[in-house]
Amino acid sequence: MVRFVHAADLHLDSPMAGLERYEGAPVAALRGATRAALANLVEVAQQVGAAFVLIAGDLYDGDWRDYNTGLRLVHEVSRLRQSGIRVALVAGNHDAQNAMTRVLPLPTAVTVFDSAAPATIRWDDLGVAVHGQSYATRAVTANLAAAFPSPLPGYLNIGLLHTCVDGRPGHDDYAPSRLAGLQARGYAYWALGHVHTPEVLARDPWVVYAGNTQGRHGRELGPRGCYVVEAEADRITAVEFRPLDVARWVRVAVDATGAAEAAEIVDRAVAAVCDQIPWVEGRLLVARVAVAGATRAQAEWVRHPDRWLNQIRARVLDLGQGQVWIEQVHCAARMPFDLEAAAARDDALGMLLRRLRPGAAPSTQWQALIPDLDELQRRLPAELGDVGALLEAAAGAPGQAVEEACQVILGRLAAAGGAP
């Protein structure tokens, strides 16, 4: 029996995107998350007694800030070498653009596949043949897999590639391949990288995206890690996902329907976030909170949104014992008003809402309101405040943003007791 670990997309020292820093936020834990995930990868390989580790590209995240990023990789790979664990890897699109990647030597136990043509490494003592090819440039448009060699008889054949299979949505179509083509190659296992969500595309033979080892922003939700694979002779007998992430991103939905006041929305948001803490099993929880539903408390929320956001953060910091980061709170709750009826009013408010409604006018006509803004402002209730700012924010915006602008208007009126 042979056991190995398949990982990909380490993106070592990648900056965490979209994080708003605030007092008490665990900034250092997030900054070092990709390094900690790499250390966890080494520990998993050691614990399961892996014979080798395969890394399917994007070890780095484009240009390094300094050599310490590469030295960290060398350090962790050296730990594998000291445990007798071999490493084979291919360069992905992010690695290919980095000049330092080509000049910093890796330990001798590491095999880096060349970019000129697909190649095969044979570990005769293990009965394993790994076939792979690195990227020469960032934007590889050729189907590299089509030229991979035929499987070696009597060996466990594995393909190692950074690729976009069947045009995966939301991903650059680099080294495009087709699932049917990969399956037809005759390998027992394809160890893939590039897509950051772990996914088993096929089981006969196995075609697997390991996903990235650490989520880096609010679109990379849920567990991130690697796969531990077992084989007997030339066939795969077990494939198991192992989480490596030290910080886990979650999207928390909060239903504010019927909330009597903004403080009740805060209560519901805090409870919803805290409900996620056991699920992350001791990891840092990074939460993106989305509030929705029909509630008159929206009027109170829109008057002082920063107050309620920071109340949520303060309470979660306390209850989560510093292990929760509220990345953002987006309140899309709406006033329980009939916008169509409000827009039908025969007054300045009705006119404004008719102009704001999605589809009411092409984006090029939004600015037509601005020349008459002074007159419009005089005719509207004073409680609306700076209507010009609302119009500027809505100009050219997608429908959802325009809907929110309407809700802000009605919310302000409700707060002053003047809403329809």
205-223 pLDDT, tens digit each? 999 999 999 998 888 999 9
235-292 pLDDT, tens digit each? 999 999 999 999 999 999 999 999 999 999 999 999 999 999 999 999 999 999 999 9
Considering only the top CATH level, what class is 2-243? alpha beta
Residue 334 bridge partners (DSSP): 294
Domain ranges of the chain: 2-243, 247-331, 339-415
In DSSP notation, 5-59 reads EEE----TTPPPTTPPP-TT--HHHHHTHHHHHHHHHHHHHHHTT-SEEEEES--
* Cα dist from 195 to 139, 200, 224, 298, whole Å: 15, 11, 12, 38
Q: What is the pLDDT of residue 197?
A: 95
Which pTM value belongs to this model? 0.82
Strands 156-162 and 189-193: parallel
98-131 pLDDT, tens digit each? 555 555 677 777 999 999 999 999 999 999 999 9
Q: What is the rounded average pLDDT of the residues 72-84? A: 92
